[in-house]
Amino acid sequence: MKKTAIFVFFGAFLTFYNLLVIADEPVSKGVTEIEVGLELFRWQEFDRAGTRLLTEQGPRVRLGFSHNNEGRLTRGLLYRVDTALYGGVVDYDGQTQNLGHYAAASVDYTGGTAELTGGYRLMNFKWGRSLDLLAGLGLASWSRDIGNGTSSQGGRVIGYEEVFDIAFTRFSLGMEKRTHIWRSLWRAGAKYPVYTNETVSAFSLELKPGKKPSAFFSYRFQLIDDDAEGMYVNFVYDSYRFSKSDVVSGFEQPKSYMDVVSFSIGRAF
């Protein structure tokens, strides 16, 4: 509980401070961005001994929107507001609720995220034009709809839907390089879920997956004009790590890992 409170406090402090003073930054013109991309998605679950119970993996599509001032040319405050929608059908390969019985099925994922990031840009570093110190708060919600399938014994397996609601903090470093026609920007850091909830309506369950930190990385290359507008490509690795939930009515959410690699093409204007 103390660790969660610390993440919430520092994330909220930095983003709130950024919102209070952003109006005093006339040199930090913001741009709006729209991007579309493809995600390579993987979800894995493990038992208490660490043995893998199942893997779900496959492609998903993604549509993202952003407003930010990351193209600023001077030191000072940064802000970024992101929203995204995603979805796709991936393959399920693993055990059913009857442990030891394996099944193949498909899983329909749909969801979305919203995130507010604030930070500060320092200028003229040896390895790049600027160094960014960033923190953010975000919300994510997705449906994991496991379809009907066939078990390894030839029997029919009935699927069900789970809905995950997550609030998280994100802390990162970033660095920009720039010429008069292009800029590149990378970021890397850690993400921590401060709130987790999993609803399984078919069994009238609400579970609370455990909270663990995870890593992320992004790299962006953009053709620019004087206002930091133009086409760009974006590569992102993102993840969640959940420890097992408490047992509720004989059910638990096992230790679960989510890994997503995405490639997007977008335009800032």
- Measured CA to CA, the distance from residue 240 to residue 168 in angstroms comes to 10
User: What pLDDT was estimated at residue 93?
Assistant: 87
User: What pLDDT was estimated at residue 14?
Assistant: 52
Q: What is the CATH number of domain 2-268?
A: 2.40.128.90
Residue 203 has φ and ψ, to the nearest 5°, of -110, 10
pLDDT in tens, the chain (269 residues): 445 544 454 555 555 555 544 444 554 578 999 999 999 999 999 999 999 999 999 999 999 999 999 988 888 999 999 999 999 999 998 876 555 566 778 999 999 999 999 999 998 766 667 899 999 999 999 999 998 866 656 667 778 899 999 999 999 999 998 888 999 999 999 999 999 999 999 889 999 999 999 999 999 999 987 666 899 999 999 999 999 999 999 899 999 999 999 999 999 99
Q: Hey, where are the domains in the chain?
A: 2-268
**Residue 162: partners with Cβ closer than 8 Å, 6 or more residues away:** 143, 144, 145, 146, 198, 199, 200
**In 3D, which of 78, 91, 65 has the Cα closest to residue 264?**
65
Cβ(4)–Cβ(213) under 8 Å? no
| Strand 255-268 versus strand 31-46 pairing type | antiparallel
